Amino acid sequence: MSRRPDNQMEVLSPAGDLSILKTVVDAGADAVYFGGDLFGARAYANNFTRQEAGEGISYAHNRGAKTYLTVNTLLKNLEIEKKLYDYLKSYYEMGLDAVLVQDFGVMEMVSSCFPDMELHISTQANITSAYGSSLLKQVGAKRIVCARELSIKEIASIYDQTGMDIECFVHGALCVCYSGQCLMSSMLGGRSGNRGRCAQPCRLEYDLLDHKGNRRNMPGAYILSPKDMNGIADLPRLYNAGVYSLKIEGRMKKAAYAEGVVAMYRKYTDLLLSEGEENFAVDPKDMQLLYDYGNRCGFTNSYYDMRNDKDMITYVSPSHSHKAGKEKAPAKATEENAPLTGYFFARVGEPISLTLYTKDASVTVEGPVAMEAVKSPMTAEAIEKPLKMTGGSGYEMKELTLDVSGDLFIPAKELKAIRRQALQKLGEPEAQPKKKPVVIGERTSYPMSAFSCEKPKGILPFLITVETKEQERQVLSFCRKAGNPGILVLSFDCFLKKDGQELSSLKEALHAVGSRLYVRLPLILRRRNAEALMDALEDLKTMDGVMVSSFDMLGFAKEHLRELDRIADHRLYVWNNRTQAAYERQGITAFCTPDELNRKELMHRDLQNCYMTVYGRLPLMYTANCQHKNSACCDEKAEVLYLRDRYQKIFPVRNICSSCVNIIYNSLPTSLFGKSNEVRALSAGGLRVDLTLENERETEEVLSLFGDLLNDKDTGEVSFTEITRGHFNRGVE
């Protein structure tokens, strides 16, 4: 299948402000995405006011372009219930074409309340397979912005299996972490990427250390800083993979960059669609222009052909450099001014009127009564001249029909005034037909009161995740001694190292003490672990349940593991009750409290069906780029390396070869053991511990404290390391 049958591709441009929107539309963008004053993933961009958005939407529509609004952050309870509907309603009535969304609860609201506005799934949702795409298609998604880490073959597979519109990044900055899965900026500085406030810690210097503390020899210190991508030479392959929308990154970039890059992609998209791939070639001079507009130590074509590679990393500098003003942008493929036709009516003793027509709209404006000429009547030329003076309005009068009779006299200032009024009205949002959203009553039911739980403690069994056999043995012993039932969750990597007999024995031992055995499915679903999942499917089906961390894995579990219980990891974000309810309708039975909400915000969440993590070393990044490979080779030997930042903090890095992913952990584990009274006051349905790098002695100490907490005893802190409270006290904006 792959190649779309309609021979179309969309050049999609960012716009940081209204003037850039107009510039890129004039440069040939088919569509523009921008952020409003709420809920966009670029909080520090010059985001649009509602008035500017209305003007921009009208400007784009009058020139045949579409407009998309970014609503791709995670929303807190009060935001989604009190602000979101009215916010989206205003854009919807302006004629907005689509919204880009990350939060599952927002997706459901858009589908329910704004049914004829397209729902596009942001790259923040981290979609890497047809499983997640199909799941989101069922809830109303029209388009998937696929993860940047996908190869062209993987992109084609999603299109072939779903037929959805595929939007793919082709140019601009790359994140080193799978989008939507980075908590590094959040945990280190309180600026959350999930709220559009990323401080870009990936662009800082780090040393890479081995397990003995020896520094690995690397090409430079910027080992987490990817080069910018440039996919212009890959347009034929993207076209053949079924990609519809070519997404240019850069809402923080200046107008000259946006204009030049858009014009270049317009030129070569038109070349491809009109002349075919056999006649497609990028002029080296044009490629140099793209370098001059801006790059980071050169370009990469992202992961189109490679799983990972150190040639994708800048190493020596993280900066975006450009040669401003050295070259002109290529000739624009579209006209600067949108074409107009006009119809002017005048009769002596009747009001004059002017009607203007564009491709998609028309307006009519009336003026004063036309007078009879005392001496010389007006000529047709005298009437036409002021009516055709469109100036810098963005329009050009291509044809004007005069329907006049009698000896007319109309002051030139009146003709100019009626022309100005018509042009202004044509450019206003009111020129677009208003749409009526479905009204929801729930938005009037807030402000919310703090949630109060009076049910008995322990309604959910305690939950412990493990990564090693040593941790597994100690948790099994803990379950035997505990008075409450528990769930032991094996990581997928740990699960793969066991045969069917080992799994059966472990499950029987847990069942004997009233506990259960689950497997945490991989966060990232790619070809390698997809094959491993299918190979291990029969063993997976013997488990009591699975923990899912992404849309892809939820879709996989719904299709292949229908009989198993499904609980959500904290990476399947549930910042608000509406999102949790949406996941419950997808068969999720229990959740984990969000790591970025503070204690007060958690009080506004329904936590009866949630686990609260009281100890664990939080993963800050999941990356496709492998530090083990970049510093040694791809020998598929798992090890723990360490990043050392400029403050001498140490961040463990594990390469999980079964999923071909690196996990960068926080320098300190998060612990709430010393906050036992506050934890109990939140009345979460269950408590959770994550064991990652802890050795036997450390595991024993953590489990001892956890046992005390489960038995309502006040606890101290672990003795073997410093700890952090994470966001329990501070939260994120």
What is the CATH number for 591? 3.20.20.70
Which residue, chain included where needed, has tokens 């005298």? Answer: 382
Q: What does the alpha-carbon distance between residue 151 and residue 98 come to, in Å, rounded to a whole number?
A: 26
User: Based on the domain organization, do 288 and 343 belong to the same domain?
Assistant: no
Asked if 41 and 95 sit in the same domain, the reply is yes
Question: Which SS3 state, helix, strand or coil, does residue 352 take?
Answer: strand
Please give the full DSSP string across 364-423, using - where no structure is assigned: EEEEEEBEEPSSSPPPHHHHHHHHT--TTSSEEEEEEEEEEESSEE--HHHHHHHHHHHH
Determine, yes or no, domain membership for 462: yes
Write out residues in the chain with pLDDT < 50, as ranges: 41, 43, 326-327, 332-335, 430-431, 442-458
Q: Is 616:692 a contact under the CB 8 Å cutoff?
A: yes
Q: Is 289 helix (H, G, I), strand (E, B) or coil?
A: helix
> Which residues make beta-bridge pairs with 597?
none
Amino acid 214 reads N
Could you tell me if residue 499 is inside a domain?
yes
Phi-psi region for residue 275, left (φ > 0), alpha (ψ -120 to 50) or beta? Answer: alpha
345 plus 417 within the same structural domain:
yes
Local structure of 248: helix, strand or coil: strand
> 367, 398, 431 — which closes off a domain?
431
Residues 269 and 369 grouped into a single domain: no
Residue 509 lies in a domain: yes
Nearest-CA neighbor of 75 among 32, 109, 34, 50?
109
Query: Cβ distance 245 to 166 under 8 Å?
Result: yes
For residue 577, is it left (φ>0), alpha (ψ between -120 and 50) or beta? alpha
Q: Domain check: are 125 and 258 in the same one?
A: yes
Whether 46 is covered by a domain: the verdict is yes
Exposure of 406 by Cβ count < 10 A (0-12 exposed, 13-18 middle, 19+ buried)?
middle
> Within this chain, do residues 83 and 50 fall inside the same structural domain, yes or no?
yes
User: What pLDDT score was predicted for residue 443?
Assistant: 40
In a domain, 374, yes or no: yes
Which residue's structure tokens are 């970014």? Answer: 70
Number of domains comprising the chain: 3
- Do both 414 and 289 map to the same domain? no
Instruction: Among 372, 397, 431, give the residue marking a domain's end.
Output: 431
Compute the radius of gyration of the chain from its Cα atoms. 30
**Whole-angstrom distance, CA of residue 47 vs CA of residue 45:** 5
Residue with tokens 């002051």: 411
Q: Is residue 623 part of a domain?
A: no
Neighbours of 413 (CB within 10 A): 9
pLDDT the model gives residue 46: 64
Residue 724 lies inside a defined structural domain of this protein: no
Q: What is the 8-class DSSP label of residue 348?
A: B
> Helix, strand, or coil here: 346?
strand
Is 279 in the same domain as 344? no
Q: Token pair 């989206």 is at which residue?
A: 88
Do 365 and 488 lie in one domain? The reply is: no
261 found inside a domain: yes
Residues 443-458 have pLDDT tens digits of: 433 344 444 444 444 4
Looking at the fold, whether 348 and 267 belong to one and the same domain comes out as no
What amino acid is encoded at 514 in this protein?
G
With 0-12 CB in 10 A as exposed, 13-18 as middle and 19+ as buried, what is 246?
buried
If asked whether residues 342 and 419 sit together in one domain, one would say yes
Q: Is 216 helix (H, G, I), strand (E, B) or coil?
A: coil
In sequence order, what are the beta bridge partners of 519? 490, 546
Taking each helix axis from N to C end, the angle separating 152-162 and 130-138, rounded to the nearest 10 degrees, works out to: 40
Angle CA 260–262–266, to nearest 5: 120
* Ranges of H-type helices in 443-499: 469-481, 492-496
pLDDT the model gives residue 513: 96
Residue 272 belongs to what domain range? Answer: 10-174+230-294
Evaluate whether 152 touches 241 at the Cβ level (below 8 Å).
yes
In this structure, the answer to whether residues 116 and 54 fall within a common structural domain is: yes
Q: Is 322 left (phi over 0), alpha (psi -120 to 50) or beta?
A: beta
pLDDT tens for 260-273 read 999 999 999 999 99
d(CA 132, CA 125): 9
pLDDT score at 310? 87
pLDDT value of position 430: 47
